[in-house]
Amino acid sequence: MEIICSCFGISKDDIQDAIASGLSTVDEVAEETGASHGCGRCSQEFDEITKRLLSESA
């Protein structure tokens, strides 16, 4: 399992789950999971992956 945000232990699967539960923006996913709200180191990768997953699920 690929961890995207190590501060909160958020994996790609967690992001996918958040999107599946009805979230539709990067900000909503960040808010819900906490991802990118810690050290910020993951924010670029989190952003890219979440955008890609959102566009795939649209």
- Site for ligand FES, rule CB under 6 A: 5-7, 35-36, 38-42
Nearer to ligand FES among residue 7 and residue 54 (C-beta): 7
- Residue closer to ligand FES by CB (options 25, 58) is 25
What minimum distance in Å lies between the beta carbon of 22 and ligand FES? 23
Closest CB to ligand FES among 47 and 54?
47
β-bridge partners, 35: none
**φ and ψ at residue 3, rounded to 5 degrees:** -85, 125
CB 12 within 8 A of CB 49: yes
Whether the CB-CB separation of 46 and 16 falls below 8 Å is answered with no
